[in-house]
Chain A
Amino acid sequence: MVSQLYDKTLSFRTPFTPNQKPHKQKRKKSKSSTHRHRHRYRASMAEDLVLDTAIRDWVLIPLSVVMVLIGILRYFVSKLMRSSQVPDPKIVKEGQVIVRARNLRAGANFISPKSFRARRVYFCNEENGLLHVPKGQAQNAQAQMFSDPNMAMDMMKKNLSMIIPQTLTFAWVNFFFSGFVAAKIPFPLTQRFRSMLQNGIDLSTVDVSYVSSRSWYFLNLFGLRGLFSLILGEENATDDTQRMMQMSGFGFDPSKSLGAEKDSLDIIQHEWALPKFEQRAETVLKDLVG
């Protein structure tokens, strides 16, 4: 589809007719006025810009290639710079507690009521239950995280390795590739997106579907994640957005999930499933014997 856009005369309304005029044109008016009847109320929509093939060759493809290369470079740099992280014993223990509490919830119906109740008290007890987080501690977690020098350094390093290439590439794109239409988005957009997608193009009559190279940069930024996971394997440092989401929720994560587990454990009603099993065993054996 994209390549068709960059071929010679390509009408917006009939995408599959062979081209008639062989030479390049910057702007083409559609011939029949009858066609335009329907679209007169949207005058700006009726023009189709035909874009130079040179744009495709010298803007889109090099930009994508450069971003892929930068991503690979960042992956290797992050591998070199990665310091082995000493796992905090408290965090490990909390993770395991959560898994065990979840198992308790899942398998609650398979053990006798007495043992279930005993375990529930063990987890949810007000004074020293495992899942009980006293109020003061909940706030501490994030503060502690930032005051701990090692962890702060680690986070800063990861942040830097993310932010610097992004900033540099963005500045480069803005400097070199601004001021012209780079691509056409295949679906129509509202006027609100104009300021975001058409930053270099100072014509207000151009359809919002025609975007500048800045939007191609953003498209690549989010879209190349899939490509990187193919090339570099699952764990790669280019998973920026995921990491950003993780980090925003990091500080509260342990205490919140503990509290959540405690609540769900408190709610659970124990339904002793074993008596049913006797009946089921009977039927099984009946089939087997009879």
Chain B
Amino acid sequence: MVTKTEETQLNRLENQVDNGGGGAWEYLCLVKKLKVRRPDKVLRHGLSILNDPKKRSALGPDVWTLYEQVSIAAMDCQCLDVAKDCIKVLQKQFPESKRVGRLEGILLEAKGLWAEAEKAYSSLLEDNPLDPVLHKRRVAIAKAQGNFPTAIEWLNKYLETFMADHDAWRELAEIYVSLQMYKQAAFCYEELILSQPTVPLYHLAYADVLYTLGGVDNILLAKKYYASTIDLTGGKNTKALFGICLCSSAIAQLTKGRNKEDKESPELQSLAAAALEKDYKQRAPAKLLLLTSALKSLKTS
């Protein structure tokens, strides 16, 4: 995750470079370090550096990493000729390189030639079976083709070896959710919460999945996780507030007959509703009526 200081620095550099000030190279380095995705800007500023032979020689040996970065950005923007030129330059310089082979594979992917790309990756993987990027590109191919079961299978195999890679767990969770395999998705989210317990996103997603699964226990659990999200975000997360209201009303519905005394936090629902109303009053007063009627129907149902 990008920290706040880095984010402000990135924005500042971006503004500076966009408005014609210098510092394109620092901007590109920062983008690369933080692994953010800004293909159009990278492409524009990267090409401005590469097409100027003076600036190119000023970079020294870093010019090759710049070529790599620009070629990936070009493929992201679908400027495939630019990408091809960059890769050709890199190939001339580093003939038998694994990294250049990887770039060629990505180019095949960008052109949509899935079979060739897969063949290229498999042959590269034979030589170095432990390259995480290659594994992930294979999964990306399967996903782009819409072949989710294969993607899941390969991602699982990848995670058997690299089980501490939380990005991969996140990807797997999203694929499971899109395929409605909620139990497995819940497991993946638990992994994410274990590795990064202070990120409210994962708590929220986990709570959503639990609520979707249904059943009293799951909804109780979901309510707890919505509460933890509220705690982690200081009450500002609208989705969590709604989640609390929905959970409480669902619990009340499901346990209508039985006398459950699980009111460990009886005021939570009313507080959440009040917070929601306050928020709407501030930000979207036009929809306030909708909100109050929805909340009323929740309470009475």
Min CB distance, A226 to chain B, in Å? 26
- Kindly identify which residue among B165, B187, B197, B235 contacts A110, using a CB–CB cutoff of 8 Å: B197
A92 contact from B162, B194, B264, Cβ within 8 A: B162
A277 and B228 contacting across the interface, CB-CB below 8 Å: yes
Which residues of chain B (237-287) have a CB below 8 Å from chain A?
244, 264-265, 267-268, 271-272, 274-275, 278
CB-CB contacts of B73-111 with A at 8 A, as 1s and 0s? 000000000000000000000000000000000000000
A96 touching B231 in the complex, CB below 8 Å, given contacts A104-B194, A282-B268, A289-B274: no
CB of B225 within 8 A of chain A?
Answer: yes
Specify which chain A residues have a CB less than 8 angstroms from the CB of B162 in the assembled complex.
92-93, 96
Are B161 and A103 interface neighbours, CB within 8 A?
no
A274-B224, A281-B231, A289-B274 given; A111·B161 CB < 8 A: no
Q: Give the one of B163, B191, B194, B224 with max A CB within 10 A.
A: B194
In the complex, the answer to whether A281 meets B230 with C-beta atoms within 8 Å is yes
Query: Contact: A92 with B130, CB < 8 Å?
Result: yes
- Say yes or no: A285 contacts B235, CB within 8 Å: yes
Taking a contact as CB atoms closer than 8 A, the residue among B193, B195, B234, B264 that contacts A275 in the complex is B264
Q: Is the interface of B mostly helix, strand, loop or mixed?
A: helix
Q: What residues of B have a CB within 8 angstroms of the CB of A279 in the complex? A: 264-265
Picked from A87, A100, A106, A278, the residue with its CB within 8 Å of the CB of B130 is A87
Chain A residues whose C-beta falls within 8 Å of the C-beta of B298 in the assembled complex: none
Within 8 A of B (CB), among A66-124: 86-87, 89, 92-93, 96-97, 99-100, 103-104, 106-108, 110-112, 115
A104 to B160, CA, bound (A): 16
A286 CB-CB contact with B under 8 Å: yes
Contact A288 B278 (CB under 8 A): yes
Whether A280 is near chain B, meaning CB under 8 Å from some CB there, is yes
Q: Which residues on the B side are within 8 Å of A284 (C-beta)?
A: 230-231, 234-235
Q: What total of chain B residues lie within 8 Å of the partner, measured CB to CB?
A: 37
Q: Is the CB of A103 within 8 A of B224?
A: no
Complex CA–CA separation, A106 to B191 (angstroms):
12
Q: Which of chain A's residues have a CB closer than 8 A to the CB of B272?
A: 285
Q: A96-B161, A278-B224 are in contact. Are A103 and B194 (CB under 8 A)?
A: yes
Contact check: which of A92, A115, A278 meets B190 at CB < 8 Å?
Answer: A115
The answer to whether A288 and B275 touch across the interface, beta carbons within 8 angstroms, is yes
Known: A92-B130, A275-B264, A284-B235. A103 touches B195 (CB 8 A): yes
Q: Does B221 contact A (CB under 8 A)?
A: yes
- Can you report 28 A-B residue pairs in the complex whose CB atoms are below 8 A from each other? A89-B130, A92-B161, A93-B160, A93-B161, A99-B163, A100-B163, A103-B194, A107-B195, A108-B194, A110-B228, A111-B193, A111-B194, A115-B190, A274-B221, A275-B264, A277-B228, A278-B265, A279-B264, A281-B226, A281-B244, A282-B265, A284-B231, A285-B268, A285-B274, A286-B267, A288-B278, A289-B275, A289-B278
A contacts, CB < 8 Å to B: 86-87, 89, 92-93, 96-97, 99-100, 103-104, 106-108, 110-112, 115, 274-275, 277-282, 284-289
